Chain A
Amino acid sequence: MHMLSIKNLQAGLEDKPILKGINLEIKAGEVHAIMGPNGSGKSTLASVLAGRQNFEVTAGSVDFLGKDLLDMAPEERAREGIFLAFQYPVEIPGVSTTNFIKAAVNETRKHRGLEALDAVGFLKMMKEKMKLVQIDQSLLSRSLNEGFSGGEKKRNEIFQMAMLEPKLAILDETDSGLDIDALRIVANGVNQYRNKDNSFLLVTHYQRLLDYIVPDFVHVLYNGRIVKSGTKELALELEEKGYDFIKSEWALAGE
């Protein structure tokens, strides 16, 4: 079944084009990795899919489970099942992480026609999911991301993913700034959540994340386009040769 279908997606910031025609198909149960050098448009793609307003979509279409994704407000996309794990999660002082997640979970439940969880039900769900990413209760009672270490922020993102049970999770450079232990914990959380009904789009600069979360497909994004697609071996090739080989290949092709 098709989860996400991106056709000729073009988008930019103010007058500067960044995505210059992205085509990508993701089916349920698949894990796709998007790799590419800095400035290739990886994070822009993640932001555009999540609906960040400063980017302007100039052409193309995105179909998410039969619905026009680009037509939806960011919160609708979230409620429909798109989750973005942020590269730089924001801090919201005075709002406890638990209360924030509770608000988010109940908005999504409302959208799906489910009753809001009461305190007991929510706590039970939290206890279960906390194990996934080995997150501590004390962290969750603190203000959202305030004073969290880099690793704690990323774990909190994956914890939220587990709580919100999205259909498509986009992980934007979730590996950046993580030491190897934290990376393993985060990857482990993702792997446990991975099943035949949900999909992942991993945006990453380095191959090492893919040692822990093994993708079904790897795409190389360069200069706003997907210039190469393959399986996990492509990631290894990139690791070995660096992005320069993509750049030179692309240069030879005449742009």
Chain B
Amino acid sequence: MPEENEELLDQITSSEYKYGFVTDIESESAPKGLNENTIRFISAKKNEPDWMLEYRLKAYRHWLTMETPKWANVAFPPIDYQDIIYYSAPKQKITPNSLDEIDPELRLTFEKLGISLQEQKRLTGVAVDAVMDSVSVATTFKAELAELGIIFCSMSEAVHEHPELIRKHLGSVVPYTDNYFTALNSAVFSDGSFCYIPEGVRCPMELSTYFRINAANTGQFERTLIVAEAGSYVSYLEGCTAPMRDEHQLHAAVVEISAFEKSEVKYSTVQNWYPGNKEGIGGIYNFVTKRGICQGDHAKISWTQVETGSAITWKYPSVILKGDYSVGEFYSVAVTNNMQQADTGTKMIHIGKHTRSRIVSKGISAGKSNNSYRGLVQVGRNAVKARNFSQCDSLLLGDQCGAHTFPYIEVKNSSAIVEHEATTSKIGEDQIFYCNQRGIDTEAAVALIINGFAKEVMNQLPMEFAVEAQKLLAISLEGSVG
């Protein structure tokens, strides 16, 4: 590696994570540790009905019988689940009745993150649910959305206001028994967003949840549920950041999507949790289960993710294609730098006839990081003429990082067509020099090449976020050229 590039790499990797600040706000927490009392504490804090508490306890008891999954291509010391705080809520002096009454300190925190909780200052056409640690602090545009019959609120509120919907759908796509982290999440989840689009309604604005971890030693366990009734449409976006801390923090979320006949749900994630420092100290463990089900014919679920943060990412946004002619998509850019580890991909489960899925995964590794794509394409016996196309490309920066691809294909119907393409390439000195020779410096050249590599995925992001995501990619990798 030329000396200059090495210097650049040093500069950038030691540069500060932009969102690493801590908000000094008093918070109310559960004592450290996990037992049935912790769960009762959380449930009581939220004043939950009995059925909710029962659900949590069942999940907890099931969790006790399970073990941490070991199959992912990531390595980390055992997590001490008794050393985590499972509930932490920023204390607001009064319960805000309107957005104007939110604690200024909280408002400022989100402003610093570029999220305005004042509707008049909003990003055009985006409604936001802002979640800090374990609770939702504000949701914008609720009234406007309600006029169309759209429900967009925090999960805690939904449990009280729309119990029939929650009881019907919560856990219907991702049962608590699904895996270790879903059981844990189902037991202790504290907030998240609920979104319901009634039949035939096209949601007029982007819905967005912004997750922020603030308190130390705290885990964040949020729960998102999206229900799109027949013929409806919604585009949903989540973003996340956390302060720089020396301890690892656990983020174990569950997202469920139910899409009925002819509905379409587009779910985009820009994940920028604190990745830890250059030596791998600190950073978020991002162990997330995301799954959608196309319940009805011609339904469509599309996942787009830009993953740049977290010390470890373990997530596979999946689609169960149950309805005939339903469509599942997965577009992913996963960036790892320094000591980051990512094992991410998708599952496309074809059950209905003529179901189609498309997977485009772009992995970018730099530093000493490890980046794995893991994906399953499963075609069931009755999935006549199912089609899948998968493309997995890896780009390496430097010679100390790793890129891995683990595609699994199971086909039980002979009329199905499944295609898989994979490439691995390195940013070449030739490419950099070519750019340099045209007056483009190395930093800008890397950004250009990376964005070109990831373009197919970036194009899937809602316009408002594409530019931001492009910048994020460049920042995550600046200077890591070899």
Contacts and interface: CB of A to CB of B under 8 A. Distances in A.
Nearest to A81: B439
B452 A92 contact: yes
B168 to A, nearest CB: 43
A54 B452 CA distance: 26
Contacts of A90: 428, 430-431, 434
A104 interface: yes
A51 B441 CA distance: 13
B440 interface: yes
A74 interface: yes
B451 interface: yes
A94 B451 contact: yes
Contacts of A164: 438-439
Given A103-B440, A111-B439, A95 B449 contact: yes
Nearest to A103: B440
Nearest to B447: A103
Interface stretch (B10-18, B33-41, B273-281, B453-461): B453-461
A52 B432 CA distance: 10
A53 B437 contact: no
A13 interface: no
A50 interface: yes
Contacts of B81: none
A78 B437 CA distance: 5
Contacts of B439: 75, 78-79, 104, 107-108, 111, 164
Contacts of B464: none
Given A54-B429, A90-B431, A95-B448, A74 B454 contact: no
Contacts, number: 78
B438 A92 contact: no
Interface string B300-342: 0000000000000000000000000000000000000000000
A95 B438 contact: no
Contacts of A84: 437
Given A90-B430, A90-B431, A107 B440 contact: yes
A233 B468 CA distance: 59
A104 B437 CA distance: 9
A94 B456 CA distance: 8
B406 interface: no
A78 B436 contact: yes
B436 A51 contact: yes
B336 to A, nearest CB: 20
B473 to A, nearest CB: 12
A50, A51, A101, A104 — which one has the most chain B CB atoms within 10 A of its CB?
Answer: A104
Nearest to A99: B448
A52 B433 CA distance: 7
B2 interface: yes
Given A53-B2, A111-B439, A93 B433 contact: no
B444 interface: yes
A51 B439 CA distance: 12
Contacts of A79: 439
Given A74-B436, A84-B437, A94-B455, A100 B431 contact: no
Given A103-B440, A103-B444, A93 B429 contact: no
Contacts of A177: none
B436 A75 contact: yes
Nearest to B433: A52
B144 to A, nearest CB: 34
Nearest to A108: B439
Contacts of A89: 434
A75 B430 contact: no
Contacts of B442: 75
A74 B433 contact: yes
A73 interface: yes
Contacts of B436: 51, 73-75, 78
Given A90-B430, A90-B431, A50 B453 contact: no
Contact of B454 (A75, A94, A104): A94
A92 B452 CA distance: 7
16 contacts: A50-B433, A53-B429, A53-B433, A74-B436, A75-B435, A78-B437, A90-B430, A90-B431, A92-B449, A94-B451, A94-B452, A104-B435, A107-B440, A108-B439, A143-B452, A160-B438
- The 6 A-B pairs at the shortest CB distance, nearest first, are namely A94-B452, A95-B452, A104-B438, A74-B436, A107-B439, A78-B439
Interface of B: 2, 4, 428-431, 433-442, 444, 448-449, 451-456
Interface of A: 50-54, 73-75, 77-79, 83-84, 86, 89-90, 92-95, 100-101, 103-104, 107-108, 111, 143, 160, 164
Given A75-B437, A75-B441, A94-B456, 16 more contacts: A74-B437, A75-B436, A75-B442, A78-B439, A79-B439, A90-B430, A92-B431, A94-B455, A100-B438, A104-B438, A104-B439, A104-B440, A107-B441, A107-B444, A111-B439, A143-B452
